[in-house]
Structure 1
Amino acid sequence: MKKRISDSELLDLIQLVKAKKAGLPDVVTRNSSTLAAYFRAADAAVEELVKNHGARLTRPRGEQRLSMAGVATTCTHGSSGLLTNWINAAYRELDRRRLA
């Protein structure tokens, strides 16, 4: 069983994921190459979390599932949405801890 990370460590991970999300390239309307670049960059951000930060990524039945630091979430709309959902789930975990 893994040791639960501290609130400050979880906040650091939240900031890391938020920075990765903020660093995604802009999408220009009616320009499919910018959209493709956006999706590739989001996929690369998730892959980097798996490689360097202990995240686990699975893809059951048309969705993606990301687990990291005891926080898990899913998304059916790509890696960018998965990052957003993980950030929100991590904040909910912090709230849950503070109310316990």
Structure 2
Amino acid sequence: MSAQWVERAALRYTPAGLPALDLTLEHRGNAVEAGKPRQVELQIRAVAIGPLAQQLQAVPAESLALWSGFLAPARNGKGVVMHITAVTPANT
């Protein structure tokens, strides 16, 4: 997903001692649905765990990137969280 982060919490550590970083990602783009163009704008909660969490602290908010990962239920059972597994700078 192409996105930039719009909120980033302080680095924290899981009970297992792994670094974790909570973010909110914002995506804006266009898609075609039922043959009609559609503007898509969304924000999604995300988390990076391990060395990637530490690396993401250096990514500026305005930097568009391609975020890869998987969706999982939120710990409180409300909504989903994207677990980030890779981030690549987007070609602009």
Considering Cα pairs closer than 8 Å and 6+ residues apart, tell me whether 1 or 2 has the greater RCO. Answer: 2
Normalising by structure 2, report the TM-score: 0.24
Q: Which has the higher helix share?
A: 1
Normalising by structure 1, report the TM-score: 0.23
Q: Which has the higher strand share?
A: 2
